[in-house]
Amino acid sequence: MSIDLRPEALFLGQKRDTLGDIFSIYFNIGFSHIYDMAAIDHILFLVALCALFTVKDWRKLLVLITAFTLGHSITLALAILDIIPINARLVELLIPITILLTAIYNGYTLWKDKWQSRGKSRTQYLMALGFGWIHGMGFSNYLRSTLFPEEKLLGQLFAFNIGIEVGQIIILAKILLLTFIFTQLLKIKRNHWAFTLSGLAFAVSLYLIIDQL
């Protein structure tokens, strides 16, 4: 057995910071749940959601992401508090469907050349909110398998959700950075880049759907 030299181990018995322990554990679980290649489905959804935007559109993107966050936080909490029942298999199937539909919506927008009106559309905000509900149910499946329901449930839920949001912000920043590199530095046309991202999301989500059927 290794010797535990962390400060909290050395000062145990004098200072017991269980609340801090719980926060860091569930923050870590939330963060690593989304900031990981195994979370490819959530990441792809963010890719599809951002595909039409660049750094300059950050205000519109912020509203869109807030809608998604609001959506998934609501269902995550409702599911963990046992207010809504969750069918894990159905949710796992619905998640790639949300990616597919977002990619199709992007393709339609690009094809119809509604480029200028993008972001003004309420459809996209409603989509982000509604699809957020489904992703939140997916997060709840994961959180549930690590929870101790008899203990500070809200604290665990809160820390997990913050972990998810921080992971999400980093992923978004990376997507926008890639968009900047490809469209500004490598001079790829914006609609070509948006089409590429959406096509990637479309292909992978279709694969994920077929894989589950």
Partner 1 sequence: MKYLILFISSFFIAPLAEEAHEFHVSKCLVEYKAENAELQISMNIFIDDLELALESRGVQKLFIGTEKEQEDANAFIEKYIDQVFQIEIDGSGIVDPIFLGKEVSDDLTSIWCYMQIPMPQPLQSLKVKNSILLETFDDQKNITSIVGPENKKDSFMSIRGDDVKEVSY
Residues that bind partner 1 in the complex, under the rule CB under 8 A? 1-2, 4, 9, 12-13, 16, 18, 21-22, 25, 28-29, 32-33, 36-41, 44, 88, 92, 138, 142, 145-148, 151, 192, 195-196, 199-200, 202-204, 206-208, 211
Q: What is the largest CA-CA distance in the chain?
A: 66
| Minimal distance, residue 201 CB to partner 1, in Å | 9
Residues near 50 by beta carbon (within 8 Å), at least 6 away in sequence:
61, 172, 175, 176, 179, 197
Of residues 66 and 191, the one with the C-beta less far from partner 1: 191
The CA-atom distances, in angstroms, between 109 and each of 101, 105, 106, 114, 175 are: 12, 6, 5, 5, 20
For every residue of 99-132, DSSP letters joined together read HHHHHHHHHHHHHTT-GGGTTT-HHHHHHHHHHH
Instruction: Give the nearest distance from C-beta 135 to partner 1 in angstroms.
Output: 11
> Of 114, 136, 111, which is closest to residue 124 (Cα–Cα)?
114
Q: Is 9 helix (H, G, I), strand (E, B) or coil?
A: helix
Cα–Cα distance measured from residue 138 to residue 90, given in angstroms and rounded to the nearest whole number: 10
CB of 25 to partner 1, least distance (A): 5
Residue placing its CB nearer to partner 1 in the complex, 130 or 199: 199
Phi, psi of 21, rounded to the nearest 5 degrees: -60, -50
> Which of 56/89 has CB closer to partner 1?
89
* Closest CB to partner 1 among residues 50, 67: 50
CB of 137 to partner 1, least distance (A): 13
- Our CB check for partner 1 shows the closer of 133 and 142 to be 142
C-beta of 31: minimal distance to partner 1 in Å?
12
CB nearer to partner 1: give 148 or 185: 148
CB of 77 to partner 1, least distance (A): 20
| Residue 144: other Cβ atoms inside 10 A | 14
